[in-house]
Each structure stands twice: as C-alpha cells, then as structure tokens.
Amino acid sequence: MRELFINIKSLVQVRENQTVLKGRAMQELPCIDNAWMLVENGKIKSFGEMSTCPYDVTENHTDCSNRFILPTWVDSHTHLIYSGNREQEFVARIKGKSYEEIANSGGGILNSAKKLQETSEEDLYLQAKQRLEEVIQLGTGAIEIKSGYGLRKEAELKMLRVAQRLKAEYPLPIKVTFLAAHALPNEWKNNKSGYITHVIEDILPEVAKENLADFIDVFCEKGYFDIDDTKRIIEAGKKYNLPAKIHVNQFHAIGGIKLAVEENILSVDHLEVMNEEEFEFLQQASIIPVALPSCSLFLSIPYTPGRKIIDHNLPLALASDYNPGSTPSGNMNLVVALACIKMKLTPEEVINAATLNAAYAMQVENEVGSISQGKKANFILTKKIPSIGFIPYSFGNHQIESVYLKGNKQ
Ligand code: NIG
Ligand code: FE
C-alpha cells in the first residue's frame, strides 16, 4: 500500500530524532510549506517540498491544497473504560455540591466502580469501543487507558482485559495503566494499608503474569492515597517493570511531586495546585508534567500553571483525562484550545505538548508524535484553514477533514 499526498499547505511537526521538548524549545514547530508526503505500508516513507517531489503525481495521490497535515493527537491520560455515566453528579454540582462532597457521600469513583463491577466484560468492551471510535474521529492516534473503576481483583482484571482487546483490535498505539489505587473501596474503609497490600500482593502479580499493563498509577491526594501509599505502589510497580504515571496535586499539594522526583517516575499528571518549590524539584528530574485542562473546565477548578511550568524550562504534555466524573470528553481539539486560552500557551506550544511530548509521556515517541521517516502514518488532514493557529482559535469546533491511522483513512 502506497499513497502520495501532494500540495500540502504545510506539513507540520517535521522532526528527526527528537523526543521531548522543554522550555523555549516548545515554541518551535518545524514545518515544510507546500509539501508532499509518501506513505508506504502504514509508515511515513518520505516527504519534502513540492518542488523536489521525485514521484509521478499521477499515481495514487491525494491533493491537499489549502490543507495542513499534522501528526494525530496523542492522549497520554484517559480513563476511557467505564460503565454508564455520572450525569446526576454533574447536575448535583450545578446545584452547588462540590466534587469532594459528592465523593464523600458515596458518589464519585466508588459510584463508577459499583456500576462497572455489575457490567459484563462484553458490555464494558462495547461501551469503550464506541468512545474509542469517537476520539479517533476527533484526531486521537495514540491513547493511554487506565483501570481504576474495578477496585476489586476481578473487576480490575476485567478492565485491563478490555483495554488489551482494544489494543489488539485498533490500529493505534494503546498503552494500559494499572490504577487499582484510585479510591479506597468501602470493604476496605477501615484498612487503607490492607487495601494497598492487597493491590500489591494479590492483584499486581496477576496483572504482571498476564502482561495486562504497561504502567502503574495511583491517585495521590488528600482523602485518597497519601505519600506512603503512593511510594508503596510506585516501588511495587518497579519490581514488575511498570513505570509510574501518577495523579498528583489535583486538589492539594501533599508532597507527591517530591516523591515522584525521588522515585524518578515517568509522568506527574494534573498539577492544578503547585507549590513554588515543586517547580524546582521537577527541574532535577526527567519527569514529564501532564496538564489536563478539560478536567479544570468541567470541575471549575484551577488550571495547571502550564505557562509557568514551561517558563521554568520544564517539558509539558497535554491530555484529556477522559472519564465519567471529572472529564466526560476525550476531545483533544478542545484540550489544546483550553491550553491556549486558559494557560496562555501558544499554538506552537500546545501542538508540541499534545503530539511529541505526549508521545514521550506514554513511551510511544518512537512510533508517533511527529512527521518523521519510519514513524506510523498516523496523521490529521485538516479542513481548508488559513493557519495552524486556527485549530485552537476555533475552540469548541474541530478543523479535521480526515484522520489517517497507519496510512488508512478512518
Ligand atoms: O483524573 N482524579 C482522579 N481520577 C479522575 C477522576 C475520576 C472520577 O471522578 O471518576 C481524574 O480526574
Ligand atoms: Fe485521571
């Protein structure tokens, strides 16, 4: 299979051997104007300026006049697999209840866990599949998916098996994260440390044996899991070669960033609440901060200080956090728009954060995240738009004409 794309207004995010970008380097977005690109066997074969195109343009080709090609979005943080919805909690919040109050009265993550435990694996798969197909149409071409709504051995394994089935059936890179330490189940209400032991000694070995996960995660937060719990989870993950990506500093700064640096984990996600010293801790590590602005929008909580993170010469990735409670949307087009509007990032910075840096945050930087020879031909062909900045500018909308995964139009 071979297809030539010609007259591309601009081929965006063209890179050679670049993995992660930090600080000022995030301002640069290398492009080739008036370009061609050849896709062969699902991969990017070659590209260049139209004037140098060595191929016969009468062969199987797509004319991309007035349209841009950029790598698909990489969504490095989602909870795509869940059962039903939490629309009633949404309404309760509109009427004045806080996310915390709802969680404390049995709603929140425990509400989703109860639903998921009662849902068959097949039904769960069908619900997740529909969401995955929707986000692919919105330009997502690599995705991380977490467990964490099972909170019991069988239900956690069920979620992970569904994720593995999606991974086997869809043509985009999928990474799977084990997040049994997402909330304390009621049956362990008076024995948090016992639950962590159960996760580490009874569930994790099974997850590892069946090769069901790539990463490990924990919700490090007041009222959920503290620093000692988080440390136990991260270190248990290390024993099974599962790098950690953690939920941290969403509502309170309780010391999770310092721990993440000491443990040298892969990513710290959320960071809506940051202490001054935590920027400096991050400068000592190669951890990637991941901001989730549509979660801030939906919960009306502060936005991650993305501008300040980049200005501290740190890298930044953007992700959706798609989940039923805090972010029932996996629309990365909205994520990049919000990062411009609310975090004061430039269009170039948000595209870097949602492609190349996001790929690093889920360890798929060798496969996707840029237009590079040999990477997967996962890319977005835009509508006719005047500039690349038009994508975040037209917030609430998207500018995608077609999405290609492994060179095939979806
Ligand atoms: O990333 N913060 C923890 N977990 C999810 C929300 C989970 C839920 O409310 O169901 C998040 O926002
Ligand atoms: Fe999350």
179 with 95, same domain: the answer is yes
Cβ atoms of 197 and 229 within 8 Å: the answer is no
d(CA 380, CA 137): 10
Residues with Cβ within 5 Å of ion ligand 2?
321
336 and 399: one domain?
no
**Other Cβ atoms within 10 Å of 152 Cβ, number:** 17
171-208 pLDDT tens trace = 999 999 999 999 999 999 999 999 999 999 999 999 99
One domain for residues 246 and 220:
yes
Q: Which ligand is nearest to the CA of 149?
A: 1
Q: What is the DSSP letter of 28?
A: -
pLDDT in tens, 114-161: 999 999 999 999 999 999 999 999 999 999 999 999 999 999 999 999
Q: Which of 221, 183, 216 is nearest to 200 (CA)?
A: 216
Reported residue count of the chain is 410
Which ligand has the minimum distance to the alpha carbon of residue 323? 1
pLDDT band at 60 (very low <50, low <70, confident <90, very high): confident
Local confidence band at 55 (pLDDT 50, 70, 90 cut-offs): confident
Burial class (CB in 10 A: 0-12, 13-18, 19+), 120: exposed
Tokens found for residue 158: 């069920």
Mean pLDDT (the chain) is 97
Do 38 and 178 lie in one domain? The reply is no
Instruction: Collapse the DSSP code of 68 into the 3-class scheme (helix H, G, I; strand E, B; otherwise coil) and give the result.
Output: strand
Return all residues near 54 (Cβ < 8 A) that are at least 6 apart: none
Separation of CA 321 and ligand 2 centre (Å): 5
Residue 96's pLDDT is 94
Residue 1: per-residue pLDDT: 82
User: What is the tens place of the pLDDT at every residue in 365-389?
Assistant: 999 999 999 999 999 999 999 999 9
**Residues 271-290, mean pLDDT to the nearest whole number:** 97
Nearest Cα to 381, choosing from 355, 398, 402?
Answer: 402
289 CA from centroid of ligand 2 (Å): 13
* pLDDT for res 56: 81
Query: Is the per-residue pLDDT at 301 higher than 80?
Result: yes
Shared-domain flag, residues 304 and 391: no
Domains contained in the chain, number? 2
Q: Which domain holds residue 349?
A: 74-361
Residues 337 and 401 in one domain: no
State the distance from the centre of ligand 2 to the C-alpha of 408, rounded, in angstroms. 30
Q: Indicate whether 19 and 152 sit together in one domain.
A: no
pLDDT band of 17, cuts 50, 70, 90: confident
The whole-number pLDDT of residue 78 equals: 98
Q: Are residues 181 and 215 in the same domain?
A: yes
Q: Hey, CA dihedral for 398, 127, 168, 74, is it positive or negative?
A: positive
Pairing relationship of beta strands 267-270 and 288-291 according to DSSP bridges? parallel
**Phi, psi angles (nearest 5°) of residue 399:** -115, 30
**The predicted structure's pLDDT at residue 57:** 77
Give the residue among 409, 407, 408, 389 at the shortest CA–CA distance from 399: 389
Distance of CA 79 to the CA centre of its chain: 9
Mean pLDDT for the stretch of residues 64-80: 98
Q: Is 325 in the pocket of ligand 1 (CB under 6 A)?
A: yes
Clarify whether residues 178 and 54 are in a common domain: no
| pLDDT surpasses 80 at 342 | yes
Based on C-alpha coordinates, what's the Rg of the chain?
A: 21
Give the whole-number percent of the chain exceeding pLDDT 70: 100
CATH number at residue 381: 2.30.40.10
CA distances from 7 to 65, 139, 332 (A): 5, 21, 26
Residues 239-245, mean pLDDT to the nearest whole number: 98
> Two tokens at 302?
């502060």
**N- to C-terminal Cα separation, the chain:** 15
Specify the DSSP element, H or E, that contains 169.
helix 153-169
The token pair at 138 is: 């919105």
**What is the predicted pLDDT for the residue at 261?**
98
Compute the distance from residue 247 Cα to the ligand 2 centre, in Å: 6
* Residue 103 Cα: closest atom of ligand 1: 9
Predicted confidence at residue 106, as pLDDT, reads 84
**Residues 268 and 214 grouped into a single domain:** yes
Cα–ligand 2 centroid distance for 293 (angstroms) = 11
Same domain, 238 and 334: yes
Cβ–ligand 1 contact at 323 (below 6 Å) = yes
Q: How confident is the model at residue 58 (pLDDT cuts 50, 70, 90)?
A: confident
Same domain as 376, residue 251: no
CATH number at residue 286: 3.20.20.140
Partners of 400 in the β-ladder: 382
pTM: 0.97
By three-state DSSP, how is residue 339 classified? helix
